[in-house]
Amino acid sequence: MKIRPEGVEGYKNIHKKGNVWEEVLKNIKNAGFEKMKIYMLDNNAICYVEAENIEKAFEYLGQQPGTPEWNDATAAFMVTQPEYGSKEVVKYLECVFDFENGEQK
């Protein structure tokens, strides 16, 4: 996701522990996400997630109360917003190297 250069600090701040709304955290958990991390590269937010079914988890998340309000709260910082109903909400990265637990996979 693209973050406005002048919105990077605000985007980071709203995602700090204690600042994310309890309703949003509950929705993420109930959607089936096992992990969700957001990394910043310049003004690009890269969301890393693990879930049994990522597409269904995002679909569920997009239908929950609180998600539109959270998107409104973060919109001032962002150039692009995730479209939860779209097939484009998830873009897969090609894994070219995988090393875990002492061995290359």
Per-residue pLDDT at 86? 53
Per-residue pLDDT at 84? 60
Share of the chain residues as helix, strand and coil, in percent rounded to the nearest 5:
40, 25, 40
Spell out the alpha helix ranges (H) of the chain. Answer: 8-14, 22-31, 54-62, 67-75
Per-residue pLDDT at 89? 61
- The rounded distance, in Å, linking the Cα atoms of 67 and 83 is 11
- The rounded distance, in Å, linking the Cα atoms of 92 and 105 is 18
pLDDT tens track of the chain, all 105 residues? 899 999 999 999 999 999 999 999 999 999 999 999 999 999 999 889 999 998 899 999 989 999 989 989 999 999 877 666 555 666 777 889 989 889 998
- The rounded distance, in Å, linking the Cα atoms of 45 and 64 is 22
| Predicted model pTM | 0.82
